[in-house]
Structure 1
Amino acid sequence: MTTTMPEPARRARTGLPILVLVLITPLLAELAWGSTPLQYLYAFPIFVLMYGTGTLLVRELVRRTGRGWPSILLLGLAYGIIEEGVVLQSFFSPQIYEAPDWGARFFGVNLVYAITISIYHMIFSVALPIQLTELFFPATRHVPYLRTRGLILTIAGFVLGLAAVRFTVPPSIDPGFNASPTALAGCAIVIAGLALLALRILPPRADSTVPGARTPAPFSVALIAAALTVPAIFLPATAMGILLDPIRSTSDAVFVATALVVPTATVIVALALIRRWTRSRDWSDLHRTALVTGAFVAHTLVGMTYFVKGDPVALVFLSICAVAELTLGIVLYRVVARRATIPEDARHVKA
């Protein structure tokens, strides 16, 4: 069941978490990734509307229905399909973001790009910002943030953000292209299926442990998260074409097969590890902090390989982002460690 608290207390406690979530999501998913150059920083309010309210909506739906992280991940995939498949239509465009060059364009679908970017949004646009926010505000971790009016405003903001992106970005990058009704209908069916599975079919959240399950030390968790981030979002991209250039002329199939298998297999391994770790009695907010920190720092470093392209300003900015993420992770780790030393009864009084 979803944890509840008196309505005035809940409103007072969820205002700041809402603000943090809707702001850090586009900061981490877009700016710290490097896909938006600093000269387009004026578009940040649009990113807040699309990324921020979208992730807030995912969290709200999951918490209201008492579901857990599997549901967040499934709705994260649905979010990625909404943004990339329906709004930007990069799944199908023959030009936008050079997506066809990532390989495996089948029946009008940029398959490698679609898989890679869907994984990216699931993890870095939805799941990790939610986890980071809940580490900042553990007292409301399982509590819905919004009342009915707030939920309506969030949905309206999300739709407005999607519309703003739809009518500004694709016309400037791939003017005149529109995905076919069949392609859009396919996206809608997949989105609906993911939402149904996440919110109706999957069981409610259950906190359970498995006797004998062990968790690595937090530092090891951070290193493993960083190591798995690299193949999940780096190997499939255009940069991989450079790495494999000597063999691509004779065996494009090797490139395509690797680009398709690597990110999917990496995510499966990562989720299996995390599931095992979280079922251990040792799993704690220290491990969660290490997981988030390792993944975000690695994702920014990977972003440098995509987007710097000889631009010293971009290199300096992303370097600052990586240092800031690492610093934030260290500070949060110390805060969490100090919080863990507070007796349980005193912790509830402070909360």
Structure 2
Amino acid sequence: MCFLAPLVGEYLLGNISIQDIWALPFLAPMYGGGALLIRETTRRTGRGWPTIIFLGLAYGLIEAGLIDQSLFNPSFEGHDFQSAAYIPVLGISAYNGLAFLAGHAVWSIGVPIALVETLVPGRSTRPWLGKAGLLITGGLYLLGSVFLFRNIQEEEQFLASAPQLIGAAVVALVLIGIAFALGRRPHPKTGGRTPHSWQVGILSFVISSLFFAASESWMGVAIKLFLLAVITALITRWSRRQGWGPAHRLALAGGALLTYAWGGFILTMLLGRTEIIHFIGNGIFASGAVVLLIIAARRICHIQSENMEL
């Protein structure tokens, strides 16, 4: 998971080229450490996916608002991150703010956790780390965050204002509070038809693709919010039904994963990377994502076959 989180969140997306694969060990402590900490905290407290998602939103806000500060930087890495749906009083782009938070919560945190848990079904809801492992992971996350902060400060020479930093920290704390305020006991299962996992996967792919492709405007913000509301309502309803299980969770993660698989090629072109090596890298990362998804799906099928035999 430590390497899967940055591979999905940055390399598969196309935000970082395969030419910079050397940076993976430096990104893993923050990305992978954050994902593992969120997963362990959630499972240790007996909570589920709503907690993971809200902690993922907090993670995204901490990274974009406090660490690399791309949420506030008007020219982060030479790109205009402010003009689309700009909110003057906050000094941020509503479009990019929503994309950063949802992107990290879903792709940097949720998808890697879902994929890895699928590969170890017998321990999918149990803690993986002891106290020492938890402390080490937390330390690596902090060290990785400090390392990234210092390097970006040297490159960007930008520091958000005190109100912006305080505001981001406060909202992150609120998201963390919501995550832990969610009930530990699962909702009682209800009746009704549960869609097949492949239907859930297609829906996840379509909605995440539309979310990814929404125009950089206030209309794009409205579309993104609408799509998030739709998928949240459907998942909340379906996940409370008797037939909902690991195959459906994998389908949700798989649909989102495949969106980044094609989106990486698009973002590479938008970033002006025209050398063939960049597109070869997109192909390698996309192929790796498909292979991992096939392995996870085969694992699910194997478990289901064993259960049927029993």
SS class of match (1:92)? coil
Question: Larger radius of gyration, structure 1 or 2?
Answer: 1
* Structure 2 partner of 1:109: 92
Does the CA contact (< 8 Å) of 2:5 and 2:108 recur in 1?
Answer: yes
Letter in 1 for 2:171: V
1:208-246 deviation line (CA, Å, top 9, x unaligned): 32111x222222222111101112222144xxxxxxxxx
1:14-73 deviation line (CA, Å, top 9, x unaligned): xxxxxxx21211111111111111222221111110100001111111112211111111
- 1:210 pairs with 2:190: yes
Residue 171 of structure 1: how far off its partner (Å): 2.9
What is the 5 A alignment of 1:125-136? 125-136=108-119
* Structure 1 partner of 2:267: 306
Q: Find the partner of 2:203 among 224, 228, 249.
A: 224
- 1:92 pairs with 2:72: yes
Greater length-normalized contact order (CA 8 Å, ≥ 6 residues apart): 2
Q: Find the partner of 2:28 among 27, 48, 59.
A: 48
Does the CA contact (< 8 Å) of 2:115 and 2:293 recur in 1?
Answer: no
Residue 277 of structure 1: how far off its partner (Å): 2.0
* Structure 1 partner of 2:231: 270
Residue 132 of structure 1: how far off its partner (Å): 0.9
* Structure 2 partner of 1:334: 298
Does the CA contact (< 8 Å) of 2:54 and 2:105 recur in 1?
Answer: yes
Distance 2:275 2:287 in 1: 19
TM-score (norm 1): 0.82
- Going from structure 1 to structure 2, the CA distance change for 1:138 and 1:202 (only over 3 Å counts) comes to same
* Structure 2 partner of 1:286: 247
- 1:258 pairs with 2:216: no
Distance 2:182 2:5 in 1: 25
- Going from structure 1 to structure 2, the CA distance change for 1:236 and 1:272 (only over 3 Å counts) comes to same
- 1:191 pairs with 2:166: no
* Structure 2 partner of 1:245: none
Residue 170 of structure 1: how far off its partner (Å): 4.1
Q: Runs in 1 of length 4+ with deviation above 3 angstroms?
A: 343-346
Q: Share of identical aligned residues, percent?
A: 29
1:274-301 deviation line (CA, Å, top 9, x unaligned): 1222122222322222222221011221
- Going from structure 1 to structure 2, the CA distance change for 1:344 and 1:159 (only over 3 Å counts) comes to farther
Residue 205 of structure 1: how far off its partner (Å): 4.0
Q: How many residues align?
A: 304
Does the CA contact (< 8 Å) of 2:68 and 2:149 recur in 1?
Answer: yes
Does the CA contact (< 8 Å) of 1:229 and 1:295 recur in 2?
Answer: yes
Bigger CA drift: 74-83 or 29-38? 29-38
- 1:65 pairs with 2:45: yes
Letter in 1 for 2:14: G
Q: Find the partner of 1:139 among 122, 132, 137.
A: 122
Residue 183 of structure 1: how far off its partner (Å): 0.8
Does the CA contact (< 8 Å) of 1:91 and 1:111 recur in 2?
Answer: no
Does the CA contact (< 8 Å) of 1:236 and 1:263 recur in 2?
Answer: no
TM-score (norm 2): 0.92
Letter in 2 for 1:89: Q
Q: Which runs of 5+ in 1 are unaligned?
A: 1-20, 238-255, 347-351
* Structure 2 partner of 1:180: 161
Does the CA contact (< 8 Å) of 2:118 and 2:299 recur in 1?
Answer: no
